[in-house]
């Protein structure tokens, strides 16, 4: 990929600038470049090239110094990022360490970040579900946020578009609350997951258990071969970076595709300070960058700017983009910038055993992770004392154990021949949290980071609605487990802080009214028409579905609109 040669303002001028190279930024870049726009992608982290920069991807467990465990001192030095399930020796180099970009926790918040080309698209859990009108109409129906300015029909063709290119495995389930898509073959459930599905759907007419949908190439199509990607090998080592391109990432898919057009310039090590606004033109004119290594300040210019820095950093950049016209942040006429941040509640889990089907065990790995239970609470009527609802994951595995009481040859034989036990089953919740003005991010007026940018203050917490929802999830899942014959049921409340779900959303929300929102139906700032936000910051509410697929669809849709407006000279 080309890198920037800086010697004049002309050399620093492009048709479009994309801030961030993760899932949404990669899609914005691909779509802009395909439409012929000379596009600069700014990434605050280091360069990571597909395959070349996946140093651990083919390592065996015994090749890691600590057998893939993080040393005690590193955990002590990184109390936040160490909580992430993927922070081990094989992927630690893709995570931001706690001291590398500090922030202020007014309330406990575990901010998990990946600062490199590709961002967290190298690390995501790859779960992909479409939103439905139950989600887009939810705020208007329940009055818990402003109305979305779009509905499912607006996004459907763009879901189709991104799914075909990215490669999404799933089954056609025929559920209005979880629309079907352009799927590759889904991954099969194992025997106990199938048993649970059949038992639940027989007992409960309003509950479904389906194969989880995921961004893995289960059966390559020509478009995937053209990208240089091939079939997922079911290694489930995805957090290392996949040399096969078997799962979707910016590095394997959208960025190389954009580069092939000849229209992409990628500049890593570029910490975005702010967006430059021309008060006479009433437009943004460019982006100010601080070089990550040299600390040099550089300005780049473009006709259109896409901000895809990931939700919280996108808020930070807009808050720091101040001018006489916008003293409280770019486009912030509504005084909502940084507010109404929400997330997914992952804090409850439940485990059990199943003593049946002992003639079976699992062979191989399922990159989809097992089953998914779509939201069933408060869909058609308000049936609980809390708003909205939750989805849930479900998986089953065959446990095994070895007798370690012996010595010598007896002990060795026991270790080499573990005995199978009962099936273990488990579920985790993914609850929708309610956007509130009291959940916000803001800039600290005194403290700055090493690039001279104000530190971010984060004040986000659970509320009574979350606690009621969590109790209902645990009670409901326990009832379901009992009814299908599971035993030794154990409920777990992790009490984890917000943020560890890694699904933070909002702060630059979409809406119909410029007085109560930041973006219109095209993800375009109401007050600055040539700036678009298509990452998690744009979300008006969170739904219960994993959000990344929706960011992809937003990005493709908004680029299509932006290019059309550019050609009409409207922006």
Share of the chain above pLDDT 90, in %: 94
Local structure of residue 101 (DSSP, 8 states): S
Q: Cα separation of 521 and 525, whole Å?
A: 10
> Considering the chain, what is the average pLDDT of its residues?
96
- What pLDDT is stored for residue 347 in this prediction? 97
Confidence band, pLDDT 50/70/90 cuts, at residue 407: confident
For position 406, what pLDDT does the model report? 81
Tell the residue number behind the tokens 């099969």, with chain if given.
188
Q: List, for residues 259-318, the tens digit of each pLDDT value.
A: 999 999 999 999 999 999 999 999 999 999 999 999 999 999 999 999 999 999 999 999
Contact, 342 vs 461, CB < 8 A? no
Q: Are 302 and 17 in contact (CB under 8 A)?
A: yes
User: For 107-159, how does the pLDDT look when each residue is reduced to its tens digit (9 = 90+)?
Assistant: 999 999 999 999 999 999 999 999 999 999 999 999 999 999 999 999 999 99
CA 199, distance to chain mean position in Å, is 32
pLDDT in tens, 416-442: 888 899 999 999 999 999 999 999 999
Q: Are 331 and 531 in contact (CB under 8 A)?
A: yes
> How confident is the model over 161-180, as a mean pLDDT?
98
Q: Which of 433, 350, 356, 354 is nearest to 394 (CA)?
A: 350
pLDDT in the model for residue 2 = 47
pLDDT above 50: residue 460: yes
CB atoms within 10 A of CB 219: 12
pLDDT band at residue 7 using 50, 70 and 90 as cut-offs: low
Residue 185 to residue 188: CA distance in whole angstroms? 9
- φ, ψ (nearest 5 deg) of residue 515: -75, -15
Q: Rounded to whole angstroms, how far apart are CA atoms 105 and 460?
A: 9
Helix (H, G, I), strand (E, B) or coil at 448: strand
Round to whole Å and give the CA distance between 151 and 179.
Answer: 13
CA distance 341 to 310: 13
Q: Structural domains in the chain? A: 1-95+104-169+216-343+436-459+504-571 (3.50.50.60), 187-212+344-432+462-497 (no CATH)
pTM for this predicted structure: 0.96
Q: By CB neighbour count within 10 A (0-12 exposed, 13-18 middle, 19+ buried), where does 336 fall?
A: buried
Question: CA–CA separation, 181 vs 164, rounded Å?
Answer: 9
Mean pLDDT in residue range 526-538: 98
Average pLDDT over residues 457-465: 98
pLDDT at site 356 = 95
């Amino acid at each position: 990929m080309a890198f920037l040669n800086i010697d004049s303002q002309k050399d620093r001028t492009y048709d479009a600038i994309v801030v961030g190279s993760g899932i949404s930024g990669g899609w914005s870049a691909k779509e802009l470049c395909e439409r012929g726009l000379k596009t600069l992608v700014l990434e605050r982290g280091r360069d990571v090239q597909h395959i070349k920069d996946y140093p651990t991807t083919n390592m065996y467990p015994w090749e890691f110094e600590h057998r893939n465990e993080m040393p005690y001192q590193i955990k002590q030095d990184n109390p936040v990022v160490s909580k992430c399930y993927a922070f081990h020796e094989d992927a630690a180099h893709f995570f931001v360490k706690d001291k590398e970009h500090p922030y202020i926790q007014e309330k406990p918040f575990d901010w998990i970040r990946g600062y490199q080309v590709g961002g967290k698209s190298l690390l995501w859990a790859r779960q992909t579900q479409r939103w439905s009108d139950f989600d887009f109409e939810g705020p208007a129906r329940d009055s818990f946020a402003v109305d979305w300015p779009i509905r499912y029909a607006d996004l459907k063709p763009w879901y189709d578009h991104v799914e075909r290119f990215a490669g999404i495995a799933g089954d056609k389930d025929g559920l209005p609350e979880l629309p079907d898509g352009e799927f590759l073959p889904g991954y099969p459930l194992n025997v106990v997951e199938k048993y649970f599905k059949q038992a639940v759907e027989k007992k409960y007419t309003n509950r479904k258990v389906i194969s989880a949908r995921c961004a893995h190439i289960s059966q390559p199509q020509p478009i995937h071969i053209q990208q240089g990607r091939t079939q997922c090998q079911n290694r489930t080592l995805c957090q290392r970076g996949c040399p096969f391109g078997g799962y979707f990432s910016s590095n394997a898919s959208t960025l190389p595709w954009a580069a092939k057009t000849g229209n992409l310039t990628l500049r890593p090590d570029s910490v975005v300070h702010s967006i430059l606004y021309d008060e006479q033109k009433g437009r943004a004119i460019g982006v100010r960058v601080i070089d990550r290594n040299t600390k040099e300040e550089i300005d780049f210019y473009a006709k259109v700017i896409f901000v895809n820095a990931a939700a919280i950093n996108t808020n930070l950049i807009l808050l720091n983009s101040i001018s006489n016209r916008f003293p409280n942040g770019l486009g912030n006429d509504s005084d909502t910038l940084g507010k109404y941040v929400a997330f997914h509640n992952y804090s409850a889990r439940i485990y059990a055993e199943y003593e049946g089907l002992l003639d079976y065990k699992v062979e191989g790995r399922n990159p989809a992770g097992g089953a998914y239970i779509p939201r069933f609470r408060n869909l058609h009527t308000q049936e609980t004392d809390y708003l909205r609802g939750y989805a849930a994951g479900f998986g089953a595995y065959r446990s095994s154990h070895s007798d370690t009481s012996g010595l010598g040859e007896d002990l060795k034989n026991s270790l080499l021949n573990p005995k199978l036990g009962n099936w273990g089953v488990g579920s985790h919740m993914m609850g929708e949290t309610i956007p509130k003005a009291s959940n916000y991010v803001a800039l600290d007026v005194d403290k700055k980071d090493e690039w001279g940018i104000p530190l971010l203050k984060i004040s986000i917490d659970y509320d009574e609605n979350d606690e009621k929802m969590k109790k209902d999830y645990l009670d409901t899942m326990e009832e379901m487990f009992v009814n299908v014959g599971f035993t030794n049921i154990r409920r777990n409340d992790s009490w984890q802080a917000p943020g560890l779900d890694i699904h933070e959303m909002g702060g630059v929300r979409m809406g119909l009214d410029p007085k109560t929102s930041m973006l219109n139906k095209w993800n375009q700032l109401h007050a600055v028409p040539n700036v678009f936000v298509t990452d998690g910051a744009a979300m008006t509410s969170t739904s219960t579905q994993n959000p990344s697929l929706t960011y992809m669809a937003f990005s493709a849709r908004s680029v299509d609109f932006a290019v059309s407006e550019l050609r009409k000279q409207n922006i």
